Amino acid sequence: MAQAKGTAAKPKKKRRKKESQQHKTKRVLLALAIFFVIFALDETGLLRAAFGTPGNVYASFVLYLVPFAIAGHDVLEKAFNNIRHGKVFDENFLMAVATLGAFAMVLFPNTDPHMAEGAAVMLFYQVGELFQAYAVGKSRKSIADMMDIAPDYANVEDEKGVLAQVSPDDVAPGTVIVIKPGERVPIDGVIVEGATQLDTAALTGESVPRHAEVGADVISGCINMTGLIKVRTTKPFGESTVSRILELVENASEKKARTENFITRFARVYTPAVTGAAAALALIGGLVTGAWSDWILRGLTFLVVSCPCALVISVPLSFFGGIGGASRIGVLVKGSNYLEALSEVDTVVFDKTGTLTNGTFDVVAIHPEEGIDPDYVLSHAAYAEAFSDHPIAISVKAAYSGQINRELIRDVQEESGHGVCARIVDETNAGERVVLVGNDKLMDGHGISWSNCELTGTILHVSVDGRYVGHIVIADVVKDDAQAAIEALHGCGVSKTAMLTGDRTEVAAAVAEQLGIDEFHAQLLPADKVARVEQLISAEGKREKLAFVGDGINDAPVLTRADVGIAMGAMGSDAAIEAADVVLMDDKPSNIARAIRVARKTMRIVWQNIVFALAVKLIILVLAALGIANMWLAVFGDVGVAIIAILNAMRAMRVEGSR
């Protein structure tokens, strides 16, 4: 992952942390070994035999200090430094006070000694810390592995035809690179030579390879499986799909979920509260009964329980796992907050063209006006659409068999939701014609009368120099899994699905009917779509969220406005990736329901951990106050709960049906 932008300084920092991690493991293991030897000597009465009573107590005091210091000196140091900076209630402080307090019980010669507990609390606390570090490292790594799509090099051919491996960062757009079978595509581009099968699984979770030949776009991150291809790069590495995805994944953990913030705030209150309770318990109990050592010990046990580690670590870890799990099915979630929102989605609103439909229109019919050649209508439409990336424009250009001479086209204006207007130079007499291509609204807007069409389909009216020349009827195909997607959403508890489109009412009605969508709104301009979504948002409950799914063409504002903006087409539109909160890597609407399931599972795990950790702590607090729980139980409660919560959190990463 080192190639991703802005990571130049990172490796060094990581390595330093890693070394100390290894060192810490050794240190804690050594301390544990010493501890058990002393514990055995103590329990078997050998110390008493050697030093007599009470000499054995002082001997074990000194002996237990050794593993305590080896394992815990860093904790004591941190606690001391934090106090100087005014940060008292952190876990280092709690552990320092609880363990030193246990050792200090030696000052009460009439009670049982508690040095073993003091040392043990510190040791197991450190074991828990190591386990946490390991779990975080592991889930980081598995996300990194899963997202291990960063290429190390690109093969560039020099003038003599010799291949050289260069860093992808140094390859300028327009360079021809060679990708051999088995290599990863390093940079987005277009195939100029060769044909092959591409494995896109790392990006989309889709396991069926796709065929690609000359002229096909290839995106970085795919694996070239069968043939050698030459690709002309279309983007610099930094803007290629791979870099953008890595950036998204790296930034995802910065956007915190409500639950995460809640836990952080909760810990800030919980810890001082329990610490206060510990002091009060020791003081009041001691004053009332006079059994100071007993009550101080109960107070110290409280301190151990007051450590919020299990919550503080497992909640973000669960979200992290959920984001990782989603990415395995080709769904990129840009932050914990969006994963949380996704779990509360109740209404899903779809854009039609390019989202529920393929966005590749076939020309069904050309209906010219009296005395006009159909080819005249189509060629003018294709010319006017020459510079547009709208799915309609792309399809019209595909249907036109002739060459488009772009130099003849002037002043193109695309009115989103309406169509296009352009001036086209006539080569024969060097004059110019104003061509309009678009829907009823565009024609009405220019005061051009148009004739109706009896066919169902999207109608493209064409006018030349203010004269209506006819219309082109085009039809789009519904995506293979669109119907399954709607069913799956209804099946997973989404109560309303809706479709918004700028297309004609007839077309919208047909698609909605075919797919089983609850409601639809047609002939909307981009701004109308935003208004509709706002209406739908205000119609639903406070806890319920609305997701909008679009392809980013003419609907980026809606993606931003929805509670959760889901973009189709990481394979295409940059605007969509920018504006969206969730990106579906393979344009499959059925992945939305799966993503919602992952989100809900993650939230379940998060709440299981919160409830479990708090319940165990509460029970131990009550038992400790009653004098039933001792420090042994408290430390096992603390470290044990943390470990169980962490293991539970790592479940979020496993997703059914992923690779």
Active site residues: 351
Minimum distance from CB of 551 to Mg ion (Å)? Answer: 5
Do 146 and 249 touch, CB atoms closer than 8 A? no
Minimum distance from CB of 495 to Mg ion (Å)? Answer: 24
Partner from Mg ion, ligand ADP, none binding residue 502, C-beta < 5-8 Å depending on class: ligand ADP
Minimum distance from CB of 349 to ligand ADP (Å)? Answer: 11
Partner from ligand ADP, Mg ion, none binding residue 91, C-beta < 5-8 Å depending on class: none
Interface with ligand ADP by CB under 6 A: which residues?
351-353, 385, 388, 390, 392-393, 414, 417-420, 437-439, 458, 460, 501-503, 553-554
Nearer of residues 27 and 504 to ligand ADP, judged by Cβ: 504
Beta pairing class for 217-218 and 189-193: antiparallel
Nearer of residues 409 and 536 to Mg ion, judged by Cβ: 536
Identity of the amino acid at 480: D
Nearest residue to Mg ion, using CB? 353
Region at 370 (left for phi over 0; alpha for psi -120 to 50; beta for the rest) = beta
Output the six-digit token pair for 367.
Answer: 């209906």
Minimum distance from CB of 450 to Mg ion (Å)? Answer: 23
Minimum distance from CB of 394 to ligand ADP (Å)? Answer: 9
Partner from ligand ADP, Mg ion, none binding residue 439, C-beta < 5-8 Å depending on class: ligand ADP
Provide the β-strand partners of residue 649: none
Output the six-digit token pair for 300.
Answer: 């110290």
Nearer of residues 319 and 468 to ligand ADP, judged by Cβ: 468
Contact partners, residue 439, CB within 8 Å, separation at least 6: 418, 419, 458, 459, 460, 461, 502, 504
Nearer of residues 576 and 624 to Mg ion, judged by Cβ: 576
DSSP symbols for 613-637: HHHHHHHHHHHHHTT---HHHHHHH
Partner from ligand ADP, Mg ion, none binding residue 335, C-beta < 5-8 Å depending on class: none
Minimum distance from CB of 555 to Mg ion (Å)? Answer: 5
DSSP symbols for 476-493: --B-TTHHHHHHHHHHTT
Tell me how far CA of residue 633 lies from CA of 144, 302, 305, 326, 387, in angstroms: 37, 11, 10, 38, 72
Spatial CA neighbour of 574 closest among 562, 556, 591, 600: 556
Nearer of residues 575 and 643 to Mg ion, judged by Cβ: 575
Partner from ligand ADP, Mg ion, none binding residue 417, C-beta < 5-8 Å depending on class: ligand ADP
Alpha carbon 442 to chain centroid distance? 40
Partner from Mg ion, ligand ADP, none binding residue 56, C-beta < 5-8 Å depending on class: none
CA distance 545 to 526: 21
DSSP symbols for 70-119: HHHHHHHHHHHHHHHTT--SSHHHHHHHHHHHHHHGGG-TTSPP-HHHHH
Partner from Mg ion, ligand ADP, none binding residue 460, C-beta < 5-8 Å depending on class: ligand ADP
Beta pairing class for 345-351 and 545-550: parallel
CA distance 599 to 348: 15
Nearer of residues 42 and 351 to ligand ADP, judged by Cβ: 351
CA distance 462 to 157: 47
Nearer of residues 316 and 438 to ligand ADP, judged by Cβ: 438
Partner from Mg ion, ligand ADP, none binding residue 463, C-beta < 5-8 Å depending on class: none
Nearest residue to ligand ADP, using CB? 502
Partner from Mg ion, ligand ADP, none binding residue 235, C-beta < 5-8 Å depending on class: none
Spatial CA neighbour of 529 closest among 560, 500, 566: 500
CA distance 494 to 348: 7
Minimum distance from CB of 128 to ligand ADP (Å)? Answer: 53
Minimum distance from CB of 517 to Mg ion (Å)? Answer: 15
Partner from Mg ion, ligand ADP, none binding residue 503, C-beta < 5-8 Å depending on class: ligand ADP
The number of C-alpha atoms within 13 Å of 310 and in the hemisphere containing its C-beta is 29
Partner from Mg ion, ligand ADP, none binding residue 328, C-beta < 5-8 Å depending on class: none
H or E segment and range at residue 546: strand 545-550
CA distance 195 to 583: 28
Do 586 and 373 touch, CB atoms closer than 8 A? no
CA distance 122 to 32: 10
Is omega for the bond preceding 11 within 30 degrees of 0, making it cis? no
Alpha carbon 132 to chain centroid distance? 22
Minimum distance from CB of 306 to ligand ADP (Å)? Answer: 55
Nearer of residues 116 and 568 to Mg ion, judged by Cβ: 568
Output the six-digit token pair for 548.
Answer: 């909008």
Do 615 and 637 touch, CB atoms closer than 8 A? no
Interface with Mg ion by CB under 5 A: which residues?
351, 353-354, 553
CB atoms within 10 A of CB 77: 12
Nearer of residues 206 and 587 to ligand ADP, judged by Cβ: 587
Q: In what order do the strands lie in the sheet with 223-224?
A: 210-212, 196-199, 223-224
Q: Three-state SS for 433?
A: strand
Nearer of residues 471 and 594 to ligand ADP, judged by Cβ: 471
CA distance 520 to 350: 9
Minimum distance from CB of 435 to ligand ADP (Å)? Answer: 11
Nearer of residues 291 and 475 to ligand ADP, judged by Cβ: 475
Minimum distance from CB of 360 to Mg ion (Å)? Answer: 13
Output the six-digit token pair for 171.
Answer: 């390859």
